Chains A and B, each alone.
Chain A
Amino acid sequence: MVNNTTTVKPHRSNVTRRKIANRIMLTLCMLASVAAVTVLGLVLFFLISKGFSSINVKFFTQLPNHVDEKAGGMSQSIYGTLVLLGLASVIGLPLGILGGIYQLEAKGKFASAVRFFTDVLNGIPSIVIGIFVYAVWVAPIAKLHPGTGYSAFAGGFALGIMMIPTIMRTTEEILKLVPFSMREASLGLGATRWRTMWSVVLPSARGGVITGIMLALARIAGETAPLLFTILGNEFFVTHKVYGIKVPTLTAPIDALPLRIYNYATAVDPEQQRMAWAGAVVLITLILVLSIAARAATRGKVLEEK
């Protein structure tokens, strides 16, 4: 505005104006962050007030009971979500971490193309990933073996794909933070490149890598869209025995918390609606635990050393 006047006479009013502007902007910033936290608080309050009363032991131990809804639970959904997270990790962890290392180490056109496509993958809506898995996995399997196709494996596959970009980027970013001198020291002692990566760089960055994994898990734990086309849903546990040990049958349809919440929330049976709220409380708690675990993992690790 009229800045040239300041050089002529630096009078008080300008300083006051700046101070006021500073105060106003600071207040606005504070209000914005308060608003964000309030929304979280309201969501939690709402969920707990609506859903907490339906959480009891049966909720965690029983299958849905359509003769008497109150006597039923969501044990198969909680179990299903955990199985799916495990499966997704089996696919997402190695690919994500190795991919992250590659992007850190490799130079050239191909590496930057990979990085670009990873970002694109990150931006693909989850429903599209669900349809993709349906097309390449569920439908062809159904053609080969009638009556199958929807399966825990298909769901884990879809969620695993979604984990890859998140883990890849966080791994790369966190490995970049490891001081270069540490590598030089390792290489100088005669270690090979992969030994340096495996025994020096990765361990010193493990807190950050674990954070990336936890964040990716927290993200996919709440996903419904990729599951709609892949797991169908199930009101039972499906297991079979391998050498006398019960294991989940990954080729059978499975349930998941977000999917069950989606189905029950749209139901008109008031008891099923209450169950949906309760399921949401459990799901949020699960995600909260993952996020807190991520925090705990980073505490006092890489960032401090830097």
Chain B
Amino acid sequence: MFFTKLNKIAVTALALTSLLSVGAQAQTLTGAGATFPAPLYQKWFQQYKAKTGDEINYQAIGSGGGIKAVTAKSVDFGASDAPMNDTELKNAPGIIHIPTVAGAVVVAYNIPGIGPGIHLTQDVIADIFLGKITKWDDARITKLSPGTKFPSTSIAPFHRSDGSGTTNIFTTFLSQVSGDWKDQVGAGKSVKWTKGLGGKGNPGVAALIKQTEGGIGYIELAYAVQNVIPYAAVRNSKGNFIYPSVASTTAAAEGATLASDFRTVITNTKAAQGYPITGFTFLLVYRDSKPELKKFLEWALTDGQSQADDLLYAKLPASVQKRALAAVATLK
């Protein structure tokens, strides 16, 4: 009893002193959002702390959650792979988008006995996720990859259950290449899926694919590579089957023209060697952010860029980097 009493007093004292000193901040910044660049960001923040001592707490809660949190101002910055739309921007006046890196969304699969690199065309991907193609040995799939013997396993398509920038990139691409998709499903951070199960975050979908024979889903390149999940080469608008890689992502990023506020989804590239399901990922910051955030952004856009390759993201093309730095310079 004596111990409990002592304990209680200690806890109360602790709580009171903490409450009295509201405002004393040891942690520098808090951010939340996209899972797509999270592996890179986690490394960035760790190295940045080692270098400058500034602590940045980043929690990967999904692009949708990141936009909500930064709109509510419960975090210092948000992160999203989908640019905020006009309505969302209206609710969060003063937000600007800073692109950090580009990444590829791969179509990953788990077909017994089949390795990486099967060929898929735009319309076949659309029809798989629409539920029109249901078996792996469907003629439309097999004829694209001659020499590969497909089993008759059923196809189990997986998608994201949470509001996701990865979903935005994937569905924007499918809406660009398939009329049926545009009419029936459309593009966005969360859409009305006609088929398949949902998983939470890139990790959730990756886990579903890994655990399910016949599974297929879209995840970020780094997640597929890290977990050794095979993924497909996808035909681009020039008719070339392109295997996702840092090089083909870079080709797509360099071939893109970004709007002045960077809010552009760059899927379905016109670059001959560009991978078509590619997108920039953004940090969402307020114009009147803390000075530490500006300092971090400058580091991320310059020194931080060299980390991108290792984790399978594409660096910003030089022109975009220059514009992004100019945008950062306008922060207070």
Contacts and interface: CB of A to CB of B under 8 A. Distances in A.
Interface in B14-36: 14-15, 17-27, 29-30, 32
B46 A236 contact: no
Contact of A249 (B18, B42, B58, B202): B18
Contact of A86 (B15, B25, B39): B15
A89 B24 CA distance: 24
B24 A67 contact: no
A89 B25 contact: no
B17 to A, nearest CB: 5
A149 interface: yes
A142 B73 contact: yes
Contacts of B8: 89, 93
A210 B1 CA distance: 9
Contacts of A65: 46
Interface in B269-301: 286, 290
Contact of A268 (B23, B74, B223): B223
Contacts of B24: 240-241, 249
Nearest to A88: B11
A242 B201 contact: no
Contacts of A149: 72-74
Given A66-B39, A90-B12, A146-B286, A268 B26 contact: no
Given A86-B14, A268-B223, A142 B74 contact: yes
Interface in A51-93: 65-67, 86-87, 89-90, 93
B227 interface: yes
A238 B18 CA distance: 11
Interface in B252-269: none
B226 A268 contact: yes
B57 A90 contact: no
Interface stretch (A106-114, A122-130, A178-186, A227-235): A227-235
A279 to B, nearest CB: 16
B207 interface: yes
B27 A252 contact: yes
B76 A147 contact: yes
Given A67-B46, A268-B226, A89 B57 contact: no
Interface in A224-279: 232-236, 238-242, 245, 247-253, 263, 266-269
A233 to B, nearest CB: 5
Contacts of B227: 268-269
B25 to A, nearest CB: 7
A206 interface: yes
Contact of A147 (B1, B26, B55, B73): B73
A90 B15 contact: yes
A47 interface: no
Contacts of A306: none
A241 B254 CA distance: 49
A139 B74 contact: yes
B32 A146 contact: no
Interface string B202-236: 11101100100000000000010011000000000
Given A147-B76, A234-B57, A66 B15 contact: no
B74 A87 contact: no
Contacts of A269: 226-227
Nearest to B58: A235
Contacts of B321: none
Contact of B26 (A86, A139, A240, A266): A240
A150 B17 contact: no
Contact of B4 (A210, A233, A245, A263): A210
Contacts of B11: 86-87, 89-90
A253 B57 contact: yes
A148 interface: yes
B210 to A, nearest CB: 7
B25 A240 contact: yes
Nearest to B293: A147
Contacts of A233: 57, 59
Interface in B226-251: 226-227
8 contacts: A86-B15, A147-B74, A147-B76, A149-B73, A249-B27, A252-B26, A266-B207, A268-B226
Interface of B: 1, 4, 8, 11-12, 14-15, 17-27, 29-30, 32, 39, 42-43, 45-47, 55, 57-61, 72-76, 200-204, 206-207, 210, 223, 226-227, 286, 290
Given A147-B76, A232-B57, 5 more contacts: A86-B14, A143-B72, A241-B24, A248-B14, A268-B223
